[in-house]
Chains A and B, each alone.
Chain A
Amino acid sequence: MTCRRKWIQISIIAAIMLVLPFFFPSGYYYRVGALVFVNALSVVGLVILVGYAGQISLGHAGFAGIGAYACALAPTHLGLHPAVAILLGALISAALALLIGRPILRLKGYYLGVATLGFGILVSMVLSNERALTGGPDGMSVPDLGLRSLLRDMGWRISGGEFWYGLNAVVLLIGIWIALNLYQSATGRAMRALHGSEVAAQTVGIDVPRIKLQAFVISAVYASVAGSLLALQNGFITPEVAGFMHSVEMVTMAVLGGVGSVLGATLGAAILTLLPQVLTVFAEYEQLVLGLIMVLVMIFLPRGLLPSIVAKLRGRGE
């Protein structure tokens, strides 16, 4: 992918982000948009791990949980500013990913899936059971980021929805930019190479365990930052953020959109975040529909929505 294509992709998403609010029937949709961007951020991280490096994680919500609770706990207990708490959460997630990634990334396929699943469940159990600290399953409140009041002081009055829509959009764009940079870099190419053939990757001097670990840590940081933003924008957080269903949602979004494509992953996140909003009936059957979508995509569009559409269009063009 050339540099030009990278900027075209980023411009398309930025343009959509800018134009969309003109069609919002009410201020509520800023909130929905902000949620789409947060989910897309963690899915873009997953694309790096799953799409680039070919490693599965069924426990990435664990890192989202760490990011979320860092923002809930660090300001009250350590007196840190919530913005600094985002960085702290990312740092803890990265350190933890480094620690657990070393042993579990030796595993392949299902085994890696189960090991990461175990990690996710562990985090969500700790968050549920440490009542004294986290308030248990009932969750806990998260302090305000404080940026909006800063803007107000500067004479810029915007609603909470508008603020989070804007902030998350900017963070997501940065996340996409970094993921696309990685794609066309030596490290990203090494990730995609070991995805194709580990043994061949080694013969060109690629340190396979190290590159896998880098992908794991980077994607953990994405999930952590997304978790932090989610906690801050909701002002409240429960252990569900680290739960198994959240991990499955992330993977489904990635697979639906196209796990090898950053743009596709964003699309997948948008669709699966919007569906329950559009079809309220969907909420009760969420898990059922998630499963169904997963099965259908795997059968009919194994490369995901966006890459399949692009391939179809190209095929027609030739």
Chain B
Amino acid sequence: MSILEVKGLGISFGGLRAVNDVSFAVKPGEIVSVIGPNGAGKTTLFNMISGVYMPGVGQVFLEGQDITARAPYLLARQGLTRTFQNLQIFQEMTVLENVIAGFHLTERGPIWADLLSWPSARKRAGEVRNGAYELLTRVRLEKAAEEEAGNLSYGALKRLEIARALAMSPKVLLLDEPAAGCNAVETEEIDALIAELAASGIAILLVEHDMKMVMRISNHIVVLDHGEKIAEGTPTEVSRNPDVIAAYLGSEEETAHADG
């Protein structure tokens, strides 16, 4: 039984069909990757699933429930969260506080208790603090806990963003280019982390440009080109699909021209 299901999703921006009739499903513990050349509509698709954009047509189901165009904070409360291609970090908070903020749903309580530093509020804060440290250790950022997040390296911030997303114990995690801008070692770390998360039962939807990584860790791949799903299947099936090869070779020729 799939936990996340996308049915006929589409959106247009001023006549341009950015995404058109895309359907697929993700099961718990499964890693599904969305790949495609630049501008294929991957991030737009992510934005629709995570409630940032309102889809023009189609539906999104989470655990069988229609969640189409629901506000992101409500999706978070139902167990769906995401990371961002361009980092969205709480820059002026410490690394630890960033992760604690991820525990918002666990930690929040009556506001008067927060204002008066009531024992119940302090207890809540203390509990999530330990959880946050554990997550930081998991992404190997525990030493930077008290540093201001803005001072961290790009790769570290990518891991911090994942730790923050994990704080809300998601059932479905959308990762938008988690390895972008990371070096080989960092990529391998993120790679292992994602596999570990999937093994713990989280359904993972991944957008990633690093093809080696995608082929290595995905259970299932959805290929987009010009906003349309042109292929879908296991890594082996997809890599042998003539349409996929054409789409990628085409784009590589273009890049070669651009570089030349």
Instruction: Give the B-binding residues of A (Cβ under 8 A).
Output: 3, 177-178, 181-182, 184-190, 192-193, 195-197, 199-208, 214, 218, 260
Contact = CB atoms under 8 A, between A and B. Distances in A.
Contacts of A207: 73
Contact of A186 (B71, B77, B124): B124
Q: How large is the interface on B (under 10, 10 to 19, 20 to 34, 35 or more residues)?
A: 35 or more
Contacts of B52: 199
Interface stretch (B61-69, B84-92, B185-193): B84-92
A182 B121 CA distance: 10
Interface string B67-97: 0000111001100011010001111110001
Contact of B81 (A185, A190, A195, A203): A203
Given A186-B109, A204-B104, 16 more contacts: A181-B117, A186-B104, A186-B107, A187-B108, A189-B93, A189-B97, A189-B104, A190-B108, A192-B101, A193-B93, A199-B52, A199-B72, A199-B88, A201-B73, A204-B105, A206-B101
Which 3 pairs show the lowest CB-CB distances between chains A and B?
Answer: A196-B90, A185-B114, A200-B88
B73 A208 contact: yes
A282 to B, nearest CB: 34
Nearest to B128: A186
Given A204-B168, A207-B73, A186 B93 contact: no
A132 to B, nearest CB: 38
A185 B88 contact: no
A145 to B, nearest CB: 25
The secondary-structure label for the interface of chain B is: helix
B116 A178 contact: yes
B135 interface: no
B111 interface: yes
Interface of B: 50, 52, 71-73, 76-77, 81-82, 84, 88-93, 97, 100-105, 107-109, 111, 113-117, 121-122, 124-125, 164-165, 167-168
Given A199-B52, A205-B76, A187 B114 contact: yes
A185 B113 CA distance: 9
Contacts of B164: 200, 204
A316 B201 CA distance: 48
B84 A200 contact: yes
B91 A202 contact: no
A200 B116 CA distance: 27
A261 to B, nearest CB: 12
A204 B115 contact: no
